[in-house]
A and B are shown apart, each in its own frame.
Chain A
Amino acid sequence: NAGVTQTPKFRILKIGQSMTLQCAQDMNHNYMYWYRQDPGMGLKLIYYSVGAGITDKGEVPNGYNVSRSTTEDFPLRLELAAPSQTSVYFCASRERRHTDTQYFGPGTRLTVL
């Protein structure tokens, strides 16, 4: 099993550009999450999904969109990138809810200039 994979690992965007961060898991987990980690800070939840076709906002959803058409994939879309979105983005998944551990991908480091 590859676990949780994320692409790309690094990306530089110009202000106003758009991009999609990819996340995939091969553990057949129902729950998937997107977090951002700003320098020296903890993780903040952007969006999450409890199953295919179901998504919900987290703590900091503005400027992002998600979709969950399959159990395996949970892409994060940035529209009109802004410098405030410079961060490291982590995707995570878990099988069920609160009782289970979240497993994280390796992260995507995004810089918006």
Chain B
Amino acid sequence: AQKVTQAQTEISVVEKEDVTLDCVYETRDTTYYLFWYKQPPSGELVFLIRRNSFDEQNEISGRYSWNFQKSTSSFNFTITASQVVDSAVYFCALSLYNTDKLIFGTGTRLQVFP
């Protein structure tokens, strides 16, 4: 069975702290795709990143970075020097090669306090 687990329900940090959001996935497929989405208080879902299972290179985009480790089935997301605008619910998701569906984790609510 395929599954995405985001064990951290809620995280609170003070501005400028670094924070890592964990994502662990389960699948027996060798080809799959991992995603992160951001859902700010306004409610829309904003795409952040897509990674395929053959590309384990870490990625950095400004203050955001992603660490993909197949050995531990994890795709963690780090925000460096967090800002109040980073406050949102963050979802990790898994898409398999032979299906048309996206499997979401339950999300991690990040609150960044000034």
Q: What is A's interface to B at a CB cutoff of 8 Å?
A: 31, 33, 40-45, 48, 50, 58, 88, 90, 92, 97-99, 101-107, 109
**Cβ of A98 and Cβ of B97 under 8 Å apart?**
yes
**Cβ of B104 and Cβ of A102 under 8 Å apart?**
no
**Cβ of A42 and Cβ of B91 under 8 Å apart?**
yes
Docked pose: A102 CA to B103 CA in angstroms: 12
- Contact partners of B43 in chain A: CB under 8 A: 88, 106-107, 109
Q: How far is the CB of B63 from chain A (nearest CB, A)?
A: 21
Q: How far is the CB of B30 from chain A (nearest CB, A)?
A: 13
**Cβ of B104 and Cβ of A98 under 8 Å apart?**
no
The total of chain B residues at the interface (CB under 8 A) is 23
Tell me which of B91, B99, B105, B107 contacts A98 (CB under 8 A): B99
The listed residue with most B CB atoms (<10 A of its CB), out of A97, A98, A103, A104, is A98
Tell me which of B35, B97, B99 contacts A101 (CB under 8 A): B35
